[in-house]
Structure 1
Amino acid sequence: MGIPPGTDGQPDPKERSKAFRAVKKVFGFILRNWLVVGFGVACVLGYFFPYVAARGGIIRSEYSILYGGIALIFFINGMQLSPEKLKEHVTNWRLHIVVQGISLILIPVIQLIIVHIIIAAGGVSSGTVSASILTGMIVLGAIPTTVASNVVMTRNAGGDEAAAIIEVVIGNVVGSFLSPWLIYAFLPTTEEFDALRPAQADTLGPMYADVMKQLGLSVLIPLVVGQSLRWAFPKQVTWTLKTFYLAQFCSFMLILVAWSTFSGAFETGALTTLPKSSVIFNVFLNIAEYFFFTAICFYIASPPESLARLINRNVADSRLGSYLPNIVRRALTVRRMPKELVVAVCFCGAAKTTSVGIPLVAGMWSNVNDNFTISSIQVPVLLYTVEQVFVAQFFTIFFKWWLHRTEKGASDAESSITTREQGQISPSDKEDGHIGSPELINEGMLQEKRIT
Structure 2
Amino acid sequence: MRRKVTVLEFVAKNWLLLGILLCIVFASVFPKLGSKGGPLKPEYTVKYGAVSLIFLISGLTLKTDSIFHTFKQYRLHLFIQLFTFVLIPLYAQLVVKVLAFFGVNGWILRGFITVACMPPPVSSAVILTRAANGNETAAIFNSVLGSFLGIILTPISLLINLGFTTVVPLMGTVVQLITTVLGPLMLGQAIRNCTSFRGHTLPLGTVSQLALIVVIFTTFCDTFETPEMGLTASDILITVFFVLMMQISLLWVSFHLGKYNKKYFEPSDTIAIVFCSTHKSLTLGIPILRIMFHGFSHLSQISLPLLVYHPTQIILGGMVVSHLKEWGQKHRRPPV
Q: Give the structure-1-normalised TM-score.
A: 0.69
The equivalent residue for 1:405 is 330
The 8 Å contact of residues 136 and 379 in structure 1, kept in 2 or not, is answered as yes
Instruction: State the Cα deviation string for residues 197-239 of structure 1 (Å, max 9, x = none).
Output: x7x63xx25x223222221111111111111111101x32x2x
CA distance in 2, matches of 1:114, 1:212: 32
Give the counterpart of 1:345 among 267, 273, 284: 273
Q: Which residue of 1 aligns with 2:253?
A: 296
**Alignment correspondent of 2:233:** 276
Amino acid of the structure 2 residue aligned with 1:274 = L
Cα distance, 1:365 vs structure 2: 2.1
Q: Which residue of 2 aligns with 1:326?
A: none
Between 1:375-384 and 1:353-362, the stretch displaced more is 375-384
Q: Confirm or deny that 1:66 pairs with 2:47.
A: yes
Give the letter aligned to residue 171 of structure 2. A
Partner of 1:376: 301
1:401 shift after superposition: 1.7
Match of 2:178 in 1: 216
Q: Which amino acid in 2 is paired with 1:175?
A: G
Q: Contact 1:177–1:208 (CA<8 Å) still a contact in 2?
A: no
Show the counterpart of 1:177.
Answer: 152
1:428-447 per-residue CA deviation (whole Å, 9 max, x = no partner) reads xxxxxxxxxxxxxxxxxxxx
Q: Distance in 1 between matches of 2:258 and 2:11?
A: 33
In 2, Cα distance between the equivalents of 1:67 and 1:279? 32
Aligned twin of 1:187:
162
Note the 1:9-408 alignment, pairs <5 A. Answer: 25-119=6-100, 121-123=101-103, 129-187=104-162, 201=166, 204=167, 207-233=169-195, 235-236=196-197, 238=198, 241-270=199-228, 274-303=231-260, 335-366=263-294, 368=295, 370=297, 373-407=298-332
| Kept after mapping to 2: 8 A contact 1:150/1:164 | yes
* Letter in structure 1 aligned against 2:114: V
Quote the offset at 1:377 in angstroms: 2.0
> By how many angstroms is 1:102 displaced?
0.1
Q: What is the CA distance between 1:25 and its match in structure 2? A: 4.1
Contact 1:143–1:357 (Cα < 8 Å) also in 2: yes
Cα distance between partner residues in 2 of 1:148 and 1:353: 9
Secondary structure of 2:180's counterpart equals: helix
Q: 1:106, CA displacement in angstroms?
A: 0.6
Kindly state the Cα deviation for residue 375 of structure 1 after the two structures are TM-superposed: 3.2
Structure 2 equivalent of residue 447 of structure 1: none
Deviation sequence 1:331-385 (CA, Å, 0-9, x none): xxxx44111111111110111111211111122223x164xx3333222112111
Unaligned stretches of 5+ residues in structure 1:
1-23, 124-128, 189-197, 306-334, 412-450
Q: What percent identity do the matched residue pairs reach?
A: 28
Q: Deviations over 1:2-38 (max 9, x none)?
A: xxxxxxxxxxxxxxxxxxxxxx944443333221121
* Runs of 4+ off more than 6 Å: none
1:78, distance to aligned residue in structure 2 (A): 0.5
Letter in 1 for 2:266: P
The 1:122/1:405 distance shift into structure 2, 3 A limit, reads closer
Kept in 2: contact 1:98–1:301 (CA 8 A): no
Name the aligned partner's letter for residue 220 of structure 2. Answer: F
Count residues in correspondence.
333
Greater RCO (Cα-Cα under 8 Å, separation 6 or more): 2
Three-state SS of the structure 2 residue aligned to 1:242 is coil
How has the CA–CA distance of structure 1 residues 130 and 78 changed in structure 2, closer, same or farther, with 3 Å as cutoff? same
Q: Is the 8 A contact 1:143 1:176 kept in 2?
A: no
**Aligned counterparts of 2:27 and 2:280: Cα–Cα separation in 1:** 20
* Distance change >3 Å, CA 276–CA 246, structure 1 → 2: same
Give CA-to-partner distance per residue, 1:90-136, whole Å, 9 cap, x none: 232211210000000110111012112222x141xxxxx33332121
